[in-house]
């Protein structure tokens, strides 16, 4: 088996495992609720941090131009 074939097989196995996990989560109500709460927490934490970084970078760039 070549390196490319091994990577292809590994990618297919990982993709199918991801699809299977997504199916289980979407069809099981408690897991769906847990995933929903986790997604809200993740988005609630990452979007403000991203926006703050962008504002800080814009502030620093405007100071250089002046």
DSSP H stretches of helix in 1-66: 3-27, 29-65
Q: What is the pLDDT of residue 64?
A: 75
Residue boundaries of the structural domains of the chain: 3-65
Rounded to two decimals, what is the model's pTM?
Answer: 0.60
Q: What is the pLDDT of residue 23?
A: 97
Round to whole Å and give the CA distance between 64 and 58.
Answer: 10
Instruction: Give the pLDDT confidence of 3-59 residue by residue, as tens digits.
Output: 999 999 999 999 999 999 999 999 999 999 999 999 999 999 999 999 999 999 999
Residues 6+ positions from 9 with CB-CB distance below 8 Å: 1
Q: What is the pLDDT of residue 35?
A: 94
């Amino acid at each position: 088996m070549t390196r490319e074939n091994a990577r292809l097989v590994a990618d297919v196995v990982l993709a199918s495992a991801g699809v299977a996990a997504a199916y289980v989560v979407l069809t099981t109500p408690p897991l769906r609720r847990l995933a929903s709460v986790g997604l809200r927490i993740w988005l609630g934490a990452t979007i403000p941090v991203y926006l703050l970084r962008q504002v800080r970078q814009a502030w620093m760039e405007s100071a250089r131009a002046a």
